[in-house]
Structures are given as C-alpha cells and as structure tokens.
Amino acid sequence: MSRMWNEMEPAEKQSQSPSSEPVGHSPKGSAEHRNSKRSPLQVSLLVYGSAVDNRPFREKTDTLNANEQGCFILLEASVARGQRLCLVNLSNQDERECRVVRLGKLLLGKRQVAVEFLRPAPEFWFDS
C-alpha cells in the first residue's frame, strides 16, 4: 500500500467513530448551543434596555419562538451579544432580565435576536 493510504486510514477511522456529541448538536459555548427545544410561540413583549450607543430604548415586538430558557425576537434597536435587556410579557405583565446570546439576519429593517433568561423561566410565557 502507498504511504498516502496509510496516512488516510487512521483519519478515516477517527471520522467514522462515534463522537461524544449527537449529530447536529453544537458544543456548549458555541453560538448555536441550546439547552431545550424552541417552540413556535407568539407572545407580545415589551423589550427595554440601552442600545449599543447607550441610549435607552423601549420596543414592542412578538416572539418568533420561545422556550423556558429564552426566545427569538426581531428588534429595531441596535444591541450587542452579551448585553442585558428586560422583557415584559404584555399578557401577564411578568418581567424578566435576559442577555443577548446571538444576533441573526436583518429582516424588514429589524435584527433577529436570540435572548436567554438569567434563570430558566417557563412560567414567563403563560397567563397568570
């Protein structure tokens, strides 16, 4: 056998061995890691905080999807990854602090923003 074949064989075996992460799962700490599945849930929210220019903002939006860890929303305000915001559920007036974990594409002049609660809050999504 050729030397190239001998070098490829161990690499091929390694790529075929089962990894510790399930297929399609991103490692913890990556931008795509999520602890629980998001559900398509539309809830009206008031989001407030400071934009990246330190100007305070208040903005009404609806969730695109959500889970007990946080949600995915569209924001006109310019925010940064790691920034803290407050969300108010307009149905039950529950208020939670969260942080921006991912910034997505621009849609209709608004940025897709994934936010995560500081502590899981499944009760945030339900009327009291």
So what's the pLDDT on residue 37? 64
User: Are 59 and 75 in contact, with CB atoms under 8 Å apart?
Assistant: yes
So what's the pLDDT on residue 20? 32
So what's the pLDDT on residue 127? 80
So what's the pLDDT on residue 36? 59
User: Are 116 and 98 in contact, with CB atoms under 8 Å apart?
Assistant: yes
Phi/psi at 83 (nearest 5 deg)? -70, 145
Our measurement of the distance from residue 83's CA atom to the centroid of its chain's CA atoms, rounded to an integer in Å, reads 13
pTM assigned to the model: 0.70
What is the residue-level pLDDT of the chain in tens, covering all 128 positions? 344 334 434 433 433 333 333 323 334 444 445 455 667 789 999 999 999 999 999 999 999 999 999 999 999 999 999 999 999 999 999 999 999 999 999 998 999 999 999 999 999 998 86
Please, what are the domains in the chain?
A: 39-128 (2.40.10.220)
The residue type found at 122 is P
User: Are 67 and 38 in contact, with CB atoms under 8 Å apart?
Assistant: yes
Number of C-beta neighbours around residue 101 at 10 A: 19
Query: Any idea what DSSP says for residue 28?
Result: T
So what's the pLDDT on residue 40? 76
So what's the pLDDT on residue 41? 83
Phi/psi at 91 (nearest 5 deg)? -80, -40
- Segment (H or E) for 11: helix 3-16
So what's the pLDDT on residue 38? 62
